[in-house]
Amino acid sequence: MLKDHIQEAELVAPDLRQLILSTVGKIALSCTMLLGSAIAGGIVGLALSFRDLPDVRVLKVYAPSETSYIYDINGELIARLHGDVNREVVPLERISPNLKRAVLAIEDSYFLQHNGIDPVGIARALVVNFQSKSTREGGSTLTQQLVKNLFLTNELSISRKAAEAFLSLRVEQVFDKNQILEMYLNQVYWGENTNGAETAAQNYFNKSAAELTLAESAMLAGIIQAPSVYNPFVDFKVAKQRQAVVLKRMLDIGWITEKEYKDAKNEPIKLGKGISFETSRVPYVSQAVAAELEERFGLDTVLKGGLRVKTTIDLKLQRMAERVAQESHDSLVYQGVGADQMAMVAVDSSNGFVKALVGGVGPFQKNQFNRAVQARRQLGSSFKPFVYYSAFATGNWAPDSVIDDSPVSFPDGDGYYSPQNYDNTFSGPISIRQAVAVSRNIPAVLLGEYVGIKKVIEDCRKMGINSPLPPVISLPLGAADITPMEAAGAYAMFANGGYKVRATLIAQVTDSKGNIILDNTNLKKEVALDPIAVGMVNDVLQAVVRQGTGTAAQLADGRPVAGKTGTTSDFRDAWFIGYVPQMSLAVWIGNDDYSPMSYGVTGGVFVAPIWRRFMERAMAGQPIKNFPDPSTIK
């Protein structure tokens, strides 16, 4: 492969050979005394170092640290995740022949001819360094550089250099030239926190390594010797001078023509914007995805394993959600609501895929707390549908069942718990449908006691709520802290008729070799809830939107909407969690420090319109569907 791109030639001119030979004699005489003392100590070091040298055959299974890539559901890049090493490993055939030749020309033009060490190259370096009275050339082959980077330290000693030479010879015995060059080009550091040719090409020129021109390749090859000095982002003029050196070397050894040399020198270089330190396009999403990956695979694999992650996020819907959140927050500020933050999570009810996630408003750099997945806040009345589901599932209650909304007290520790309604009034006998629509508290507490709080908690677990749920009498009124993502995922199971889904941000994960290691795209459908009870929940929650506290969530196209408002004590949290058959959406507003919002801020008045604003945009052009018929759920 290499020989197809590199003309084998006598690369050292005769006059230079004569100079080398004459100068080596002078150097040898002046170094004899130094070498004598060094060799004595070095022999011991050599014996020890050779005994402990690694087996180079481990490189056959060596997997260097690789950057993980995060994509949206349609394959658009969202973010790169990496630790200290930012690298994408690619096969040699995906690296431009221009770059292969340029690197070899400036770093090791005898690569095809030596067996790991280059005596002539070492002698040449001695000549140059002796004449300049400084260290200007090292004489190391590309194989030696690879060995030093992978196995050894930068210690300056005879034993280390001897070990380097020994390992280089061994590498050349075990691997062919193509394999060695491939390892080198994927390993070498190119500055700007970039390792490997592919990442360097993307960083400096915003293109793949396969697409590099001769001019770009020469500039890239020139960086290797001193990345901080020849970095074109730092000093383009110096980088161009170094590029000219590389091109001249390629010309001198016959690897390019005079025309190619001139054309490459004169070719305008268009630099990229740099990728090494770029931030995520959607930082709250990337943060949540990374946390989900870490929980499944561990932090080391996430930052070094070269994962390719297809998320469930649809960037079109994501941008839509971000715009709605910012517009709505601005409106709340204008109205003096006193809510500094909000969160939104939209979930595909058919599979639990999170299509959009807003973890907060304002610059992510200033506040990285992700309220969509990290903030556990009380749901208030938005918790009640879980209680009503448990009651309907007993078979003893239905939407038209009558329940008494009257004063009641329950023993609670050393005293009594007496729940109150929001308006401090009581309605007396009332249908469950009406009790849910106008969000009466007493019926929810009564039904919680009827079915048992433990049963309510058990059903919540079926719906994917993993946050702690205290077994207290007031739990039906939302006395538990739950994340918006959990809430949206749980309501999605009402939307789909009772099929099991778990809200997730990850559709599929492959390793660096393309093997699928996690796949959520084709999970078996499993009924987790009682379809009849779910149908009843959908009935009563549609009444909330038609004629209850959630009328502000009605959609202009008339499609069926179900949902529930939620407001906590002292107006610390306000929610609207609602759904259409295709999608569930949870919206929360409040303050991170739990301070109350303005008096009278409720989910129905201030949050339901935010829900509607997003849903009208997200469902535009989508078919109008009805909620599932319980008889069709199997």
For residue 413, count CB atoms less than 10 angstroms from its CB and return exposed for 0-12, middle for 13-18, buried for 19 or more: exposed
Report whether 520 contacts 511 (CB < 8 A).
Answer: no
DSSP for residue 507: E
Q: Which amino acid, residue 30?
A: S
| C-alpha–C-alpha distance, residues 382 and 547, integer Å | 17
Strand (E) or helix (H) holding 535: helix 531-547
349 catalytic? Reply is no
Inter-residue long-range contacts of 49-56, CB under 8 Å, 24+ positions, other chains counted: 49/159, 49/160, 49/162, 49/163, 50/162, 50/163, 50/166, 53/151, 53/163, 53/166, 53/167, 54/151, 54/167, 56/147, 56/151, 56/167, 56/170, 56/171, 56/174, 56/175
Helix (H, G, I), strand (E, B) or coil at 590: strand
Q: Which of 66, 88, 96, 107 is catalytic?
A: 107
Q: Which of 381, 382, 390, 474 is catalytic?
A: 381
- How, if at all, do strands 308-311 and 68-71 pair? parallel
Instruction: Retrieve residue 43's tokens.
Output: 């022999």
Whose CA is closest to 53, among 169, 181, 152?
152
Strand (E) or helix (H) holding 169: helix 158-174
452-479 burial string, b = 16+ CB within 10 Å, else e?
A: ebebbbebbeebbbeeebeeebbbbbbb
Whose CA is closest to 49, among 142, 164, 203, 154?
164
381 catalytic? Reply is yes
CB atoms within 10 A of CB 632: 8
Helix (H, G, I), strand (E, B) or coil at 208: coil
Active site residue ranges = 107, 381
